């Protein structure tokens, strides 16, 4: 082990925590020195690291950073404890279960100048990273619309939040990240069909700061698992499938269709379709490498707590719109509801 090796800890050994443990245990330049889980490690997911019963024990071991993968409601207290101990943190998404809690975490880490990030893993998906680079290069021209669909069967591991905070936060974050824009308004409807206290389906229409239209459909009620993101602009449409990490481009070429029946069905112009060949590395490994490098001070390519706060604010606006039946304006500090 070299002097540059970072000492890392993990809080939580659940459905995401076990994957974090696996990646941390093999991450170059990092030593996993302790895992906190009051339930122990009956499945052997800690990769041989000591299993501790409290965050205090982890802090006492002396760690450079910790990954927070406990239930969402515990993100704030655990994060504040780590900030108080001057320990950098990578917090699973959403950063907190309330806007106020997310804001307190931002203030705690920023006040101490600590590196802290949120595990919005879609930012590390190869298809979306390629899409973002192409959008930044202007390959699509002006962007008109972003559409996402994220649906699948109910995950029984989730009990503390509904589909908006658990799943829609992925789409909210990736939309702002790939476009480089912020949300300015949202209108949403939710339904609860699974007999649980939280919503399990949401449909939302929003607007970004440059006028781009956004549509999100997210649910836990479909036997079909789908992770679809499309961005349409003046030169065509990018479509990302983040389950397979495929990115395709449908161009707006001016090739006239002469066959009359087909013209009526397809429209009058048809362009090329390209499926890009992109390296497909595991998104969680990429996320950990980027955070490790941020802690070392050699990179800043992470989702910051402040960006995570913005996502929680938009999620709160989605829920407020669904509750009130109104379109909600998002200013960053407060949500303003407008009657229809």
Q: Which two tokens stand for residue 54?
A: 């409290």
**Per-residue confidence (pLDDT) for residue 259, from 0 to 100:** 59
Q: How far is CA 335 from CA 97, 101, 206, 245, in A?
A: 16, 16, 14, 35
Q: Over the stretch 97-110, which tens digit does the pLDDT of each residue have?
A: 999 999 999 999 99
If asked whether residues 223 and 293 sit together in one domain, one would say no
Does the structure show a pLDDT above 70 at 263? no
| Judgement on whether residues 243 and 324 belong to the same structural domain of the protein | yes
Same domain, 40 and 189: no
Percentage of residues of the chain with pLDDT beyond 70: 90
> Has residue 266 got a pLDDT over 80?
no
For residue 243, is it left (φ>0), alpha (ψ between -120 and 50) or beta?
alpha
Q: What pLDDT score does 113 carry?
A: 97
| pLDDT tens column, 186-243 | 999 999 988 888 899 999 999 999 999 999 999 999 999 999 999 999 999 999 999 9
In a domain, 179, yes or no: yes
> Strand, helix or coil at 204?
strand
Inter-residue contact 66 to 11 (CB < 8 Å): yes
Integer angstrom CA distances of residue 133 from 54, 139, 211, 223, 303: 41, 9, 21, 33, 16
The pLDDT-based confidence of 135 (bands split at 50, 70, 90) is very high
What's the CATH code of the domain at 46?
3.40.50.720
Model confidence, pTM: 0.91
For residue 192, what is the domain's CATH number? Answer: 3.30.360.10
């Amino acid at each position: 082990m070299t002097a540059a090796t970072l000492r890392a800890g993990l809080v939580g050994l659940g459905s995401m925590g076990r994957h974090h443990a696996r990646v941390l245990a093999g991450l170059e330049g990092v030593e996993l020195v302790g895992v906190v889980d009051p339930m122990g490690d009956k499945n052997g997911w800690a990769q041989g690291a000591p299993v501790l019963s409290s965050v205090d024990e982890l802090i006492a071991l002396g760690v450079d950073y910790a990954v927070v993968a406990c239930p969402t409601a515990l993100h704030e207290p655990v994060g504040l404890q780590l900030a108080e101990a001057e320990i950098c943190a990578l917090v699973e998404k959403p950063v907190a279960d309330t806007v106020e809690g997310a804001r307190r975490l931002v203030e705690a880490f920023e006040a101490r100048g600590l590196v802290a990030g949120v595990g919005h893993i879609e930012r590390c998906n190869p298809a979306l990273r390629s899409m973002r680079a192409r959008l930044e290069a202007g390959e699509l021209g002006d962007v008109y619309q972003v559409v996402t669909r994220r649906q699948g069967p109910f995950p029984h591991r989730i009990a503390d939040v509904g589909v908006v905070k658990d799943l829609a936060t992925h789409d909210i974050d990736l939309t702002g990240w790939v476009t480089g824009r912020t949300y300015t308004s949202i209108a949403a409807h939710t339904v609860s069909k699974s007999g649980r206290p939280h919503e399990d389906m949401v449909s939302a229409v929003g607007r970004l700061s440059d006028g781009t239209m956004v549509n999100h459909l997210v649910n836990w009620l479909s036997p079909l698992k789908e992770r679809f993101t499309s961005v349409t602009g003046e030169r065509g449409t990018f479509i990302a499938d983040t389950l397979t990490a495929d990115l395709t481009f449908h161009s707006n070429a001016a090739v006239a269709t002469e066959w009359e029946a087909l013209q009526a069905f397809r429209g009058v112009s048809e362009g090329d379709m390209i499926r890009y060949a992109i390296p497909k590395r595991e998104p969680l490994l990429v996320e950990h490498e980027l955070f490790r490098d941020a802690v070392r001070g050699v990179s800043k390519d992470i989702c910051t707590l402040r960006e995570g706060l913005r996502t929680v604010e938009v999620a709160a606006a989605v829920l407020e719109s669904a509750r009130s039946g109104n379109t909600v304006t998002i200013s960053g500090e407060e949500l303003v509801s407008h009657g229809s």
